[in-house]
Each structure stands twice: as C-alpha cells, then as structure tokens.
Amino acid sequence: MGPTLGAILNIGVTGLRAQQAAISVTAHNIANVNTEGYTRQRANFSEEIPLSTPIGIFGMGVKFTGITRMRQNLLDGNYRTALGQQEQYDLIGGNARAIEGVLGDINGNNLGTAIADFFNGWHDLTTGPEDLAVRQVVIDKSVTLTDFFHEASRQLTALDSDLDLQVNDSAVDINSILQRISGLNTDINRSEQGGAGPASDLRDQRDSLLDGLSSYMNLTITEQSNGMVDVSANGEALLTGQNFFAVQVVSTGVPAHPEIQSSGNVALATGGGKLSGFAQAYQSLDSTLTTIDGLASALITTVNNLHTAAGASFDLNGNAGLTFFTGTNAADISVNAAIVADPKLVAAADTANPGNTGVALKIAKLQDTLVYPTGSPSATLNDALRNLLVKLGSAAQNADQLATSYGDAVNNLKGQRQAMNGVNMDEELSNMIAYQHAYEAAARIVTTVDELMDLIINRMGRVGL
Amino acid sequence: MADFRISDQSRYMGMVPAYNSLLARQIQLQNQIASGKRWDSADQDPVGVAIAQRLHTEDARLVQDLRNGAEATAFSQTTETAVMSAVDMLQRARELAVQANDPTKTPADRQAIAVEVEHLLGGLVDLGAMKHRGRAIFSGTKTLTNSFQAVTDVSGKITGVSYNGNGESFSTEFAPSQAIAYNMLGSNEAGGNFGLFRDTAAGVDVFQTLINFRDNLTSNPAALDTDLQQISGALSHLTEGAARLGGMQARLAAAVSRHEEQRQVLSVTLSRLEDTDVAAAITELNQLQTAYQASLAVGARIGQMSLVNYLR
C-alpha cells in the first residue's frame, strides 16, 4: 500500500504552505529594498520525513525550514573601522578649515595684513611725526590690528564651545545607542530562544546601531552564544548583554576640555572615530590660540618697552611716552584709551623734540626684528603667522585626503556588504515567479486529489445504476 | 567573489559620490573663475598659499619703502630748493664783494651795497622759516620752530643770527633695515655732522660772514678782500650741502627703481602663482559639465530597467 489520497492532499498542502511562506519572505525583501541596514532574507526548504511502506519509501512533501540572514560579519568589522577613521578625519579637516577662516581672508584683509599695516603706520610716522593726521592713522591701524586679534580670539573660543557642545551631544547619543542595543540584546535573546532561527530584523537594527556607535570610537564586539553582543572600547566594557555602562563627559587636561570617558573614568578615544577627532581638534585649537596669544603678547611687550622707555620716549608734548597697548593676550589687547583720545600722546620721539622719530623708527623696525617664538631668528610675526596658516592648511588638506580615502574604503565595503546583504529586485521577482508557479502547481495537486476523492465518493456506485 | 551580486541600493550608492565629486569640482572651478584666484583657503594649496603670502608681505613692504623713499626725497628736494636760493644769494653777495673791492667805488656806492647785503641777510634768515609739510627743514628735530632768529639793534639792523634748532637728524627706512637720515641741519653748533649755514668744524658761518661784509663796507673797506674770500668759502660750503642732498636723492632714486623692478618681478610671480588660468579652468569646466550630464543620463537610464517592467 502506498500513500492514501489524504496523504497526497497533505503533500499538496505542504507545498502551498511552503511557497506561501517563501512569497512572504520575498515580499518582505522587496518592501525593504531601500531600508538602510536591511539584510536580505532567504527562505529555506527541505523534504518532509518520508513515509516508509512495504512497496517503497514515499516523499511526504516539503517543509519550510526557516529563514537565513544573508550577512558576513567580517565585512562589518572592516566597514566599522573605516567608518570610524572617516568620521575622525572629517571632523579634523572641518575643524582645521574653520580655524583657517579665523585668520581672515587669504586673498584680502587678514591678521597678517593688519600686522603689516600696523608697522607701515609707524613707518609713515618716521616721515611726518608732527602731523596729527599721520598720528591718527597710526592709532587707527593699531585699533584695526587689535580688532583682528579680538576677532580671531573670539572665533577660536566659539569653535571651542561648538566642540564642547558636540562632545556633550555625542555622549548623549552614545548612551542612547548603548541603551537601545541592550534592549535589542534582550529582544533578540527572547525571540531566538527555542531555535526559532535568527531574529533577522532585530539583528539588522542592532547592526545599524553598532555601525552608528563605531563612528565614535573603535569597538570590540563579541557575540555571545545566547545571541547577545558585548561591546567594549579601549578595554573598557560599554555593554555586557542586557547591562550597559553609560559613558560620561569629564573635563580634563590643561587647558581643560571635555572628554568622553567610560564609567570607570578611562578615556575612550582610541584608534579612530569622532572621539579621537575631538581630541585632535582641541589640540589644534589650543595651539592656534597659543600662537595668536603669543603674537599679541610679544607685540604688547615689545611695543610698550619702546613706547615707555625711560628718558628715551616722548610724545608730541614732550612728555614721557605712555603704555601703548594694554592687555596681555589676543583677547584683551587694546590701544591705551588715553592715546586713542589724543594722537599727540603717540610717542614717536626718543628726545623731547617734535621732529624726532627715534621711537617710531624702532617700532617700525620690529617688522623685521621682532621674532616669535623667541629664539627662532627667522620667524618674524608675519612669518610666524604664515607658518601657522600653512600648518592649518596642510592639516586640513591632509585630513581631507585621509577622509576621502577612508570614505572610498567605506563606500567600497558598503558595496561589498550590499553584494551580500542587499536586495536585488530582479532576483526577488524571479524568486516570486518561481514561488508563484510552485504555489499554482501545488494548488493543482489539491484540485486533482479533490477530483479523485469526488470520483471515489460520489461517482463510484453499484454497476448498472 | 566570482559572482558579484548587485543590489538595488548599490546601483545608486556608487553614483551619488560620483555626482558629488563632479559637482564639487565644478563649483571650485566656478569660484576660481569668478574670483580670479586659484584658492580661497590655505588647504587648497598650503605651500602655494605660503609662498604667495610671503610675496604679498614683501610687496606691501616695498610699497611702504617706496612711500618712505618718496617722502624723504620730497623733503630733501624742498631742502635743496632752499639751499639753491641760499647759493643764489651768496653768489650775489660775492658779486657785490667783487664790486665793492673796486677802488673806484665811493663810500656812497658801498653804502648802497651794504643796504643790499642787509636784504640778502634777511633773505637767508627767512630760509630758516621754510617748511615741508609743516616741518621746519633746518631745525633738526625741533621741526615746529623756525630755524633762525635775527638779532637786531635799535635801528633794525641785523647784528647776529641765533640758531633755534638742535643737532638731531631724523631717518626713515627706504629698504628693510636700511635707514637714511634725510634732513640737513642749519647749524651744527648744538651737535650733528654738517651745518649748512653755520658749521663749527668747517669754520663757516654764512650769517656772520655777511654781517662782517656789510659792516666792513662802511667801517673798514680794507677788510673787504678777506670778506670776499670768506664769501667764496661759504659759497663752496653751501654747494657742498647741495651736493650732499643730490647724493642722498640719487641713493633714494636708485632704491626706488630697484623697488619698482622688484615689485614688477613680484607681481609677475604672484600672478603666475595665484591667478586662475581662465582658459584652462573654462576648458576643464566644460569637460566636467559633459561628464556630469553623461553620468546623470546613465544613472537615470539604469534606474528605468527592471524585471517589474516585463511582468504581467
């Protein structure tokens, strides 16, 4: 005896069920064709347990064995490392370009031209020290110079505050991501219990969150046998299964800047990612501010020494020269208010005679002789400023090139990931046609068995009736 | 991977960065053409920008040096005008001295000459009031004070001339670290090197020479011969002053022409360095636009093809 009609009907039903399930998987794939981070799924079939009979072993139809998640974890690691590097250099490059802007328009007025103008004002004074208009110009050019210093200092401080905000926002984002991953860990663990197969969509969400987290820092991700992942950075655990350890923002260093640290107070910036970018951005802000402050301070000290030299500095009234600049750095350098109010108080002379230009000439000569930092004979103030500009320009250019190159790597790996994970519409539609036809054929089996049963039940009767 | 799958997302993924980079380069070229400059921030060419900035600083410096030189030259030319008038006056005085030495001249004639000498003397004192841009030219650094003051007796006759200036000179830089003192002292009795009208080292006193000449015309005609010699000596001293000014002006003029030439070289170098090569930029822009259009067209066409179109 072979299989009964009922058993054959059941074979048809397994076919219907399996193809329907497969069409559902295909539909899900098509629906998610443009979902960022989606991993395509594949329906798996196998034969049902066959029926052994005395006349042979009969197949009992098809079994839907589950859904495979088409993903390679190796690509994820490489992708995340490259993404972290790209984010880091994007941040550094953007920051360096912003700092460049602080120095002014390189094709127009900038701090460098203001310094040159300042000295030129004193040069003019050497050919007209008695002329109040010329004295006024010296004051105006000095005030313009202090304005440039103030603006540079203000913008650098503003950039610094922007970075502070970004660091704080990043910490909030990191903690939110960690919290969501820990939630997904729980969900995935629960869904996959009892061998239901991978919780593909939950895992996609978790992978996307891990991608996002790796833009901040270099992560070590370990998947446990229960489906949960543990995440650590720089040797510090951020997440173990369902528990996450919130990162914190701690102000540290000299000068103090906010830094994202683990709950155990270990800095997390390491080997790429935005957090490393922040550290370098702060560094280049600090060094720029140090240079600008140093230039201002060198100018203040040296000009004041000449302008107030005892017995060797006199204003137009024959009185001893006053302090020319007040303040100590780029933020507070100002021209002495008394001098601004009365151009006669500019001390151009080193004797008490109106036509003497000894001090004016000495200050004008600072253009070639005042060096910054002290001890580097070739760097005049303008040289120092130009060196700074080149340093920033090269840093930005370098960071841009690295960001582009890591960006290419990111795109390349994204492409490779897509080759594995991504949905191809033609492929899905081809599958759909196959499943649809299989479904139609299985339905035909059911109809055929139905007809056979009809024949036996309704149309088989006594002979002759 | 032998069989590289293409997902629907990766079809577009590769295109967007390509569009972006084509567009970004176009915008950069448009900026370069519009501004005429090859760069607008240092990161576009750090080394080029550094060189250009250095050249700009040098150029600004040359402009200032030219201005300083021009101003010093103008001051010195005003001084020269004064010196030349003094020379003219002394030449006239010498002519008068020669005439006075003529034995045929009567005391009345000499009296008349004395009147003219008195005027010449006054004229010389007036030169001390000469100013350039409000600065007394012969007073050293006491530029707001007239250089000379005549001392007169009751009848208004000049009996002496006092120097109100000092012995200081003033300088300006006409080239980096090269300063030039561009004033000439009326007298070096208060210090300084060369006194134009009164020079203690050379033993010249133009005023006293004329006063003596004037007085001798009426009181001691026998000394007129000595006066003639002294006037000649004073004249050659003034000529020396003029020569000194000429030498200084020549030195400045040489610096000016050197600076002008340097500026020309600088501007050519700068232009090569930082000016947009408009022809090249426009050509590249056209090429990029073609490439951009082509890639947009291809992108749109790829998107149209799908199995969906062939299903019932």
DSSP output for B59-99: HHHHHHHHHHHHHHHHHHHHHHHHHHHHHHHHHHHHHHHHH
pLDDT of residue A161: 95
Average pLDDT of chain B is: 91
pLDDT in tens, A369-392: 888 877 666 688 888 888 888 888
pLDDT band at B258 (very low <50, low <70, confident <90, very high): very high
Calculate how close chain B gets to A4, using CA atoms only, in Å: 38
pLDDT band at A250 (very low <50, low <70, confident <90, very high): very high
pLDDT above 80 (res A464): no
pLDDT in tens, B41-59: 888 888 898 899 889 989 9
Give the residue-averaged pLDDT of A251-272. 91
pTM for this prediction: 0.85
Give the residue-averaged pLDDT of A184-197. 90
pLDDT in tens, B114-168: 999 999 999 999 998 899 998 999 999 999 999 999 999 998 899 999 999 999 9
The rounded distance, in Å, linking the Cα atoms of B241 and B196 is 6
Q: Are A84 and B31 in contact (CB under 8 A)?
A: no
**Least confident range of A19-23, B39-43, B212-216, B276-280:** B39-43
Average pLDDT of chain A is: 92
pLDDT of residue A195: 79
- Any chain A CB within 8 A of the CB of B78? no
Buried b (16+ CB within 10 A) or exposed e, A12-44: bbbbbbbbebbbebbebbbebbeeebbbbbebb
Calculate how close chain A gets to B42, using CA atoms only, in Å: 5
pLDDT of residue A256: 93
Kindly list the residues from chain B whose CB atom is less than 8 angstroms away from the CB atom of residue A424. 5-8
Domain assignments of chain B as residue spans, ordered by start: 22-37+276-301, 56-266
pLDDT above 60 (res B2): no
Kindly list the residues from chain B whose CB atom is less than 8 angstroms away from the CB atom of residue A97. 41, 43
pLDDT band at B289 (very low <50, low <70, confident <90, very high): very high
pLDDT of residue A41: 94
Cross-chain CB nearest to B141 (options A96, A355, A367): A355
- Any chain B CB within 8 A of the CB of A315? no
Amino acid at A75: L
Vertex B240, ends B237 and B244: CA angle to 5°?
140
Q: Which two tokens stand for residue A6?
A: 């009922």
ipTM for the complex? 0.84
pLDDT above 80 (res B3): no
User: Cβ contact (<8 Å) for B68 and A349?
Assistant: no
* The residue to which tokens 């490392």 are assigned: A81
Class of the domain covering B56-266 = mainly alpha
Interface of A with B in 174-233 (CB under 8 A): none
**Least confident range of A241-245, A456-460, B88-92:** A456-460
Q: Which of B172, B174, B252 to mutate to test the interface with A (most CBs of A within 10 A)?
A: B172
Contacts A–B by Cβ distance under 8 A: 196
User: Shortest CA distance to A388 belongs to which of A291, A251, A286?
Assistant: A291
User: Cβ contact (<8 Å) for B166 and A96?
Assistant: no
- Any chain A CB within 8 A of the CB of B56? yes
User: Cβ contact (<8 Å) for A354 and B143?
Assistant: yes
pLDDT above 70 (res A463): no
Specify the pairing of strand B195-199 against strand B185-187.
parallel
Calculate how close chain A gets to B170, using CA atoms only, in Å: 6
Strands annotated E in chain B: 131-132, 135-136, 148-152, 158-163, 171-175, 178-181, 185-187, 195-199, 204-205
Strand partners, A251: A258
Amino acid at A127: T
User: Cβ contact (<8 Å) for A354 and B17?
Assistant: no
Kindly list the residues from chain B whose CB atom is less than 8 angstroms away from the CB atom of residue A407. 17
User: Cβ contact (<8 Å) for B53 and A106?
Assistant: yes
Kindly list the residues from chain B whose CB atom is less than 8 angstroms away from the CB atom of residue A105. 40
Specify the pairing of strand A236-240 against strand B131-132.
unpaired
pLDDT above 60 (res B1): no
Give the residue-averaged pLDDT of B271-296. 93
Residue in chain A lying closest to B143 (CA):
A355
Buried b (16+ CB within 10 A) or exposed e, B258-267: ebeebbeebe
Instruction: Please report, rounded to a whole number, the percentage of residues in chain A having pLDDT higher than 90.
Output: 75
pLDDT of residue A378: 67
User: Cβ contact (<8 Å) for B57 and A382?
Assistant: yes
